[in-house]
Amino acid sequence: MSAVNSKSKFDEGRLMQVLVAPIVSEKATMIAEKSNSVTFKVLQDATKYEIKAAVELMFKVDVKAVSVLNQKGKTKRFGKSVGRRDNIRKAYVTLKPGQELNLGGEAA
Protein backbone atom coordinates (compact mmCIF):
# COMPACT_ATOMS: atom_id res chain seq x y z
CA MET A 1 0.00 0.00 0.00
CA SER A 2 1.57 3.28 -1.07
CA ALA A 3 1.48 6.48 0.98
CA VAL A 4 -0.47 8.35 -1.71
CA ASN A 5 -3.11 5.62 -1.93
CA SER A 6 -3.63 5.29 1.84
CA LYS A 7 -4.66 8.94 2.30
CA SER A 8 -7.23 9.04 -0.48
CA LYS A 9 -8.76 5.68 0.48
CA PHE A 10 -10.20 6.93 3.79
CA ASP A 11 -12.69 9.68 4.60
CA GLU A 12 -10.78 12.76 5.77
CA GLY A 13 -13.42 13.63 8.40
CA ARG A 14 -13.06 10.15 9.91
CA LEU A 15 -9.25 10.42 9.92
CA MET A 16 -9.45 13.67 11.89
CA GLN A 17 -11.35 11.82 14.65
CA VAL A 18 -9.22 8.64 14.76
CA LEU A 19 -6.46 10.15 16.94
CA VAL A 20 -8.04 11.07 20.27
CA ALA A 21 -4.97 12.34 22.15
CA PRO A 22 -1.21 11.86 22.44
CA ILE A 23 -0.11 9.82 25.44
CA VAL A 24 2.61 11.60 27.39
CA SER A 25 4.00 9.33 30.10
CA GLU A 26 7.37 8.09 31.27
CA LYS A 27 7.01 4.87 29.29
CA ALA A 28 5.86 6.68 26.13
CA THR A 29 8.81 9.09 26.38
CA MET A 30 11.32 6.23 26.80
CA ILE A 31 9.90 4.43 23.75
CA ALA A 32 9.94 7.68 21.75
CA GLU A 33 13.64 8.24 22.46
CA LYS A 34 14.62 4.61 21.86
CA SER A 35 12.72 3.74 18.68
CA ASN A 36 11.60 7.07 17.10
CA SER A 37 7.92 6.40 17.79
CA VAL A 38 4.95 8.32 19.20
CA THR A 39 2.09 6.99 21.33
CA PHE A 40 -1.54 7.97 20.74
CA LYS A 41 -4.88 7.18 22.32
CA VAL A 42 -7.15 6.19 19.41
CA LEU A 43 -10.77 5.25 18.78
CA GLN A 44 -11.80 1.70 19.80
CA ASP A 45 -12.65 0.70 16.22
CA ALA A 46 -9.64 2.35 14.51
CA THR A 47 -7.54 0.11 12.25
CA LYS A 48 -3.76 0.25 11.78
CA TYR A 49 -4.23 1.55 8.22
CA GLU A 50 -6.54 4.35 9.42
CA ILE A 51 -4.10 5.33 12.17
CA LYS A 52 -1.20 5.43 9.69
CA ALA A 53 -3.19 7.55 7.23
CA ALA A 54 -4.34 9.91 10.02
CA VAL A 55 -0.82 10.52 11.35
CA GLU A 56 0.55 11.09 7.83
CA LEU A 57 -2.31 13.47 7.01
CA MET A 58 -2.23 15.52 10.23
CA PHE A 59 1.53 15.73 10.90
CA LYS A 60 2.96 15.42 7.34
CA VAL A 61 5.43 12.63 8.29
CA ASP A 62 6.23 9.18 6.87
CA VAL A 63 5.08 6.28 9.07
CA LYS A 64 7.13 3.07 9.13
CA ALA A 65 4.87 0.88 11.31
CA VAL A 66 1.86 0.96 13.66
CA SER A 67 1.42 -1.31 16.69
CA VAL A 68 -1.94 -1.33 18.48
CA LEU A 69 -2.96 -2.60 21.90
CA ASN A 70 -6.22 -2.71 23.83
CA GLN A 71 -5.99 -1.86 27.52
CA LYS A 72 -8.92 -3.00 29.65
CA GLY A 73 -10.35 -0.44 32.07
CA LYS A 74 -9.67 -0.97 35.76
CA THR A 75 -12.48 -1.64 38.23
CA LYS A 76 -12.54 1.07 40.89
CA ARG A 77 -14.59 1.42 44.06
CA PHE A 78 -16.10 4.63 45.42
CA GLY A 79 -17.29 3.65 48.87
CA LYS A 80 -20.06 1.08 48.34
CA SER A 81 -20.49 1.64 44.61
CA VAL A 82 -18.26 -0.06 42.09
CA GLY A 83 -17.29 1.81 38.93
CA ARG A 84 -15.15 1.03 35.95
CA ARG A 85 -12.71 3.11 33.90
CA ASP A 86 -13.09 3.12 30.13
CA ASN A 87 -11.18 0.69 27.93
CA ILE A 88 -8.33 2.38 26.04
CA ARG A 89 -6.88 1.55 22.63
CA LYS A 90 -3.28 2.72 22.22
CA ALA A 91 -1.29 3.05 19.02
CA TYR A 92 2.50 3.07 18.93
CA VAL A 93 3.39 4.82 15.65
CA THR A 94 6.99 4.25 14.51
CA LEU A 95 8.33 6.92 12.16
CA LYS A 96 10.80 6.37 9.33
CA PRO A 97 14.43 7.41 10.01
CA GLY A 98 14.94 11.17 9.74
CA GLN A 99 11.28 11.93 10.50
CA GLU A 100 10.34 13.88 13.63
CA LEU A 101 6.97 14.66 15.18
CA ASN A 102 6.77 17.64 17.56
CA LEU A 103 3.80 17.41 19.94
CA GLY A 104 5.07 20.04 22.39
CA GLY A 105 3.94 22.98 20.29
CA GLU A 106 7.13 25.01 20.76
CA ALA A 107 8.84 26.23 17.61
CA ALA A 108 12.05 24.42 16.72
> What's this model's pTM, rounded to 2 decimal places?
0.80
Residue ranges of domains in the chain:
3-95
* pLDDT for position 2: 46
Per-residue pLDDT reduced to its tens digit, 51-108? 999 999 888 999 999 999 999 999 999 999 999 999 999 999 999 988 887 766 554 4
Q: Among 28-37, 39-48, 96-105, which stretch is predicted with the lowest mean pLDDT?
A: 96-105
Query: Whole-angstrom Cα distance, residue 38 to residue 55?
Result: 10
Q: In 3D, which of 90, 100, 16 has the Cα closest to residue 58?
A: 16
Domain 3-95 class, CATH top level: alpha beta
